[in-house]
Structure 1
Amino acid sequence: MNPSAADWIKKFLNRFEKQSLVLRFNSEDDFYAHLKSSGFIYGVSIAALPEEPVSHLKLSKEEFTKINLFHGLLFTYLNNFPDGSFDEAIDSIVLFYKALGKGKTGFLQKLVKTNAKDNQLEHILSARLQETNTVLKKNSTSLITFALLYMDILSFKVFLSTPKKLTHYTIELESTIINCCFLALRSKERKNKYDKQLVALFESSSSYLNEINHGDDILWAESATYLTLKDGLEKKYLLDLCTLAVNDDHVLDASEFQFLQQLTVFLDFSEEDLKQSIKDLSDFSEAHSAKIQLFEYSNPVHQFYKQSSETVKKLILRNKVRLTKELEESGELMVLLGQSAVRDLTSEEKTKVKDQLLDICKTIPSLTIFLLPGGTVLLPLLVKFIPKILPSSFQDNRIDTKKRS
């Protein structure tokens, strides 16, 4: 089986029966533990879950990630509908991604002209992984985006029970996870220059996501009312990601451990749950000799920021005509973007900018990357560069604060 070639899903399902893919796992928690052991939760898949080899080929981390994402979605469906078939699961997963990508034409344009649902899903999953890699360039920060792919599985679970809640859920879940990882990173006592660059980017991003109470890092979570604390998978995932975020040097200092303890209490977990999360990460890292930081230092963060900036600039230039037209029609957004270049916007204004910019991104295919999990962290770069790259569009709308004072 070659996950990079057509018909791999059909071959995968022909090779493994439901017993191997679903029934051998005792529960959702058991399946999650196996996903974590494979590295999928950490964004570095080094194996697939079936006990037998899935391929005679030497597969890449991205190919293992694709297989594990599909397996996770498949398990979620059949765990919810034990009498369901593989074909029914595939149909449902395709519907889920179409619902998740509603209006995101750039994502859905890649969904091929074929009636075979398994082939459609193959293209969806390839596009899903490619879109996340495109945002942050290959091998630069695929770790952070791939670590966020488990959100697809959590969101699919919600889609199966209450489809109408999907959009709101995915937005809130992404914001919560990104903010939480940022707070975990900020808790580090010894920050190198790369830590500081990432903190600066996340602080900028967080103002366009959810406001953070800087007096008490853990208070932000109390406003995440969607997080019912009844879903153990959400809570485990959140704790594992935060453990990953602070443990890049394999040593937890006092402030890092204190943050994780606060989060553990908030999530209604025990001290043993926290110890297990730390142990799982340590065991995986030692077993596979992999640098699996959530924020990848083998390719320094300044390179991440630089490449991300270049990507955003290129997207703006390639869509200059369309962007200019959309901005001119938006009115208020044009004014606010112009003002953002000379003063700090209020929280209310930032919310307006975020909402209106994302609406524009929905209409421009190549900008739909900002709508995918992990993409909104780059939204401040879009706000920063639009007035600089499209200056003529803002000449009549720029506010001269000096003259007003």
Structure 2
Amino acid sequence: MNPSAPDWILKFLNLFPKEELIGTFKNEHEFYEALKKTGFIYGISVSALPQKTLGNLKLTKEEFTKINLFHGLLFQFFQSNENGSYSDAINNILLFYKQLEKGKTGFFHKLTIAQSPSNTIEHILSARLQTANSLFKKNTISLLTYALLYLDVLSFKQWQKNADNVKNFYRQQETIILTACFYTLKSKLKKSKYDKLLIEFFESSSEYIIDGSEGGPATFLESLNYLDMDTNSTQRKYLLDLCYLTVWEDLKLDDSEQQFLQQLIVTLNLPESELQKNLSDLSTFSKKYTDKILLFEYSNPVKKFYKHSAATVKLLIIRNKDRLARELEESGELMVLLGHSTLRELSAAEKAKVKEQLLDICKTIPSLTIFLLPGGTVLLPLLVKFIPKLLPSSFQENRIEIDTKKK
């Protein structure tokens, strides 16, 4: 199964019967805990929920995120529609996203009208990953990770109860989470320069803060008592998890952070043991998979674009390496020019030939047609960068390896 190719949803549903995807979990709480272990709640999906293999491809964080988001929506549908079908679920998820569309004119119009419902959802899920940080889009140094995507699942649950109120519900939950994260971050005794930048940004974006009065965190915590948050739902646990994520960068809690989170626990009517459990869950996941789990990830926009583009190109090359290597070896002139490029700077005419012939090769491989799209040619240098790894060792015999230790 390839979550970056069309029809992956139908393939996913064909691989697993309903009993395996839904019946394995006794309730919403158990499903949430399992989803947290995949990293989805933390914004870093390292696996999917099904135990059975999804195929031979090595999936990326983004691909696992898409699968987990869809699985979460699917589970919520069957919680309310026990006898429903996969087809019913797909149609409902599509209707939900259509109604949730928040003033973004033309988003759904960009999707091909003739597409099947499952294909349309595939495009929507891809778009959701791209716009997961839309709240801070105007800010050039602060980007939200995928951790807020579980809000889609919570909102879909609400939509099935009251479809007319889903936009307000999403906005309310979004505001609650961001405000809670703001006050958790502000409670840190030792703030990094990035913490201070983020706090400044929050304070200048009053539309995301529930209360700007002198009461501060006390007023916010009190306001939670009047909000519609089901005691037995995962809303409260999710809010606490993201607050932990906000201050996790230093891998510990200082006294002021601990105090605010304990007050939050009391307000949310959760047992104090939940505080230690959440810390243990996050610590276990961090030690097992990564030492960097952040709710807010700072990056220069240009660097972030390059990093994401490089990862995309590398993935495309890995998944098409055999065919790409064969096409390159059959292109005599291109091979000669690429060989020369390892020894000297190519002329403008030679660079144009390399670009033209690479684009011709990309036309023959469907997955590489990304380079033919408007703006796709800016990725060609990245393609050239990874190409030598595909070619015979004789092609690289004159390459000079730089000893970084001498620098």
- TM-score (normalised: structure 2): 0.70
One-letter amino acid matched to 1:90 = I
8 Å Cα contact 1:169/1:226 also seen in 2: no
Partner Cα distance (1:115, 1:295) in 2? 35
8 Å Cα contact 2:40/2:65 also seen in 1: yes
Residue 233 (1) aligns with residue 234 (2): yes
One-letter amino acid matched to 2:199 = V
Cα shift at 1:96: 0.1
Per-residue CA deviations over 1:159-191 (Å, capped at 9, x if unaligned) read: 001111211111111111111111111110000
8 Å Cα contact 1:229/1:267 also seen in 2: no
1:282 maps to 283
8 Å Cα contact 1:188/1:256 also seen in 2: yes
One-letter amino acid matched to 1:116 = S
After TM superposition, list the pairs within 5 Å mapping 1:3-22 onto structure 2.
3-22=3-22
Cα shift at 1:219: 2.3
Structure 2 portions without partners, runs of 5+? 306-407
1:185 maps to 185
Partner Cα distance (1:195, 1:130) in 2? 24
1:294 maps to 295
After TM superposition, list the pairs within 5 Å mapping 1:6-405 onto structure 2.
6-101=6-101, 103-132=103-132, 144-207=144-207, 209-224=209-224, 225-296=226-297, 299=298, 303=300
Partner Cα distance (1:288, 1:153) in 2? 24
Partner Cα distance (1:117, 1:208) in 2? 33
One-letter amino acid matched to 2:53 = P
Q: Which stretches of structure 1, 4 residues or longer, exceed 6 Å deviation after superposition?
A: 304-308
Partner Cα distance (1:171, 1:258) in 2? 27
8 Å Cα contact 1:110/1:124 also seen in 2: no
Cα shift at 1:215: 3.3
Instruction: Sort the Cα spacing of 1:206 and 1:231 in 2 relative to 1 into closer, same or farther, 3 A.
Output: farther
8 Å Cα contact 1:179/1:206 also seen in 2: no
Segment drifting more, 150-159 vs 53-62? 53-62
8 Å Cα contact 1:46/1:61 also seen in 2: yes
8 Å Cα contact 1:176/1:221 also seen in 2: no
Instruction: Sort the Cα spacing of 1:244 and 1:103 in 2 relative to 1 into closer, same or farther, 3 A.
Output: closer
Cα shift at 1:116: 1.3
Cα shift at 1:141: 6.2
One-letter amino acid matched to 2:197 = Q
Partner Cα distance (2:71, 2:207) in 1? 35
Partner Cα distance (1:116, 1:110) in 2? 14
Partner Cα distance (1:163, 1:83) in 2? 20
Partner Cα distance (2:301, 2:248) in 1? 19
Percent identity, aligned pairs only? 48
One-letter amino acid matched to 1:171 = R
Partner Cα distance (1:207, 1:102) in 2? 16
Cα shift at 1:209: 4.5
One-letter amino acid matched to 1:256 = E
Size of the aligned set, in residue pairs, is: 302
- TM-score (normalised: structure 1): 0.70
One-letter amino acid matched to 2:286 = S
8 Å Cα contact 2:111/2:123 also seen in 1: yes
Instruction: Sort the Cα spacing of 1:55 and 1:212 in 2 relative to 1 into closer, same or farther, 3 A.
Output: farther
Instruction: Sort the Cα spacing of 1:209 and 1:108 in 2 relative to 1 into closer, same or farther, 3 A.
Output: farther
Cα shift at 1:231: 4.5
Cα shift at 1:106: 3.9
One-letter amino acid matched to 1:8 = W
8 Å Cα contact 1:112/1:123 also seen in 2: no
Instruction: Sort the Cα spacing of 1:210 and 1:87 in 2 relative to 1 into closer, same or farther, 3 A.
Output: same
Structure 1 portions without partners, runs of 5+? 309-405
One-letter amino acid matched to 1:35 = L
Partner Cα distance (2:302, 2:271) in 1? 37
8 Å Cα contact 1:114/1:120 also seen in 2: no
8 Å Cα contact 2:142/2:198 also seen in 1: no
Instruction: Sort the Cα spacing of 1:146 and 1:5 in 2 relative to 1 into closer, same or farther, 3 A.
Output: same
Instruction: Sort the Cα spacing of 1:282 and 1:84 in 2 relative to 1 into closer, same or farther, 3 A.
Output: same
Structure with greater contact order relative to length (CA < 8 Å, sep ≥ 6): 1
